[in-house]
Amino acid sequence: MQINKYLYCFGYNNTESELCKLESRYIFNEEEENRVLFSNIKAEPSSSAFLKNRLDIISSSEDYSTLIKAIKKESICIEGFKVEYLVFDGDTTDYTQRLKKLKDIGFSINGFPDYYNPTITYALCYHENTWYFGVLTKNNFDWYKHKNKPYSYSNSISMSIAKALVNIAAKTNKEEKILDACCGVGTIMLEACFAGNNIEGCDINLKICNDARENLSHFNYTANVYHSDIKNIDKRYGAAIIDLPYNLCSKATDDDILHIIKSTAEKTDRIVIVSTADITNFISNTGLKISDYCSVRKTGKRKFTRKIWVCEKSPITLALPN
């Protein structure tokens, strides 16, 4: 039986559940279920807004005593470690018993613990009748610093959506070059740069391009931002992201939207599009096909739903000679 190496924990609200599952399909090739996922794919939790942590599994057993014996056999010797208890749905272990089990783990490791500045964090958890022990990597949420970017717009997409769009477009390939076709002030570009993705952006508004450059520079990120109509970009990309104008701060006619999608489709075979309206007709008119989809509700004073479309070039079938 194949044993998955990593256990991931997710966190999201109900308005973002569809987006989290969509992102999960492109990072792990499968959906998370009940905010938990086992996988052989190693992903950095901080690259996603929905990944709370990753447990690199060292030992597992349905029997707790057997797990402790397995941990002792590992002969772990390290100074400054910390052990945490992860609580999953269905785990009825009370607080006192959790503390006792954490002590059991601590006594199974050679070295002195450091609860405040640990050199490494281990974790214990009980999920679906099995105990798991391993190294814990948390989402450090350092990307929250992007909230303090010099330039922003009230109608910009959230950082959570921006991070998911990058992961969906890149499909874990950090080397593949991505185009942000309507980059605005660089919300998507910031998250791509933070995660180490290769991205460029363009926009027809010179002031907005300068704002995007300032935002990137503020966090010491380096990425090209072109003041250009997308049709004039003379490059090919592995994937593209389009956050279409919403007619809030910038007006876009149907012709404008068709132009943006069609021009972007000439630069890549794969596009992730964000819209607030049904754009299936626009997509079909550009030779693209919709391969995946989700919606994200926005709450607050201005309530609306963003639609996220994953589009690919329709395969061309060549007729073979008789």
What would the two tokens of residue 87 be? 């609580």
- pLDDT string in tens for the chain (322-residue length): 446 799 999 999 999 999 999 999 999 999 999 999 999 999 999 999 999 999 999 999 999 999 999 999 999 999 999 999 999 999 999 999 999 999 999 999 999 999 999 999 999 999 999 999 999 999 999 999 999 999 998 778 999 999 999 999 999 999 999 999 999 999 999 999 999 999 999 999 999 999 999 999 999 999 999 999 999 999 999 999 999 987 555 567 899 999 999 999 999 999 999 999 999 999 999 889 999 999 998 776 567 899 999 999 876 433 444 4
pTM, full prediction:
0.92
CA distance 187 to 241: 12
Residues 6+ positions from 88 with CB-CB distance below 8 Å: 9, 36, 125, 126, 127
Residues 6+ positions from 166 with CB-CB distance below 8 Å: 178, 188, 191, 192, 195, 197, 199, 241
Is the alpha carbon torsion for 19, 23, 25, 28 positive or negative? negative
Q: Which helix (H) or strand (E) holds 86?
A: strand 81-86
What would the two tokens of residue 309 be? 């479309």
What would the two tokens of residue 97 be? 């018993």
What would the two tokens of residue 103 be? 């002590």
Q: Which helix (H) or strand (E) holds 288?
A: strand 288-298
β-bridge pairing 177-180 and 130-138: unpaired
Is the alpha carbon torsion for 46, 47, 48, 53 positive or negative? negative
DSSP 8-state class, residue 110: B
Contact 202, 230 (CB under 8 A): yes
Phi, psi of 244 (to 5 degrees): -65, 145
Domains of the chain: residue spans and CATH: 6-20+27-138 (3.30.2130.30), 143-313 (3.40.50.150)
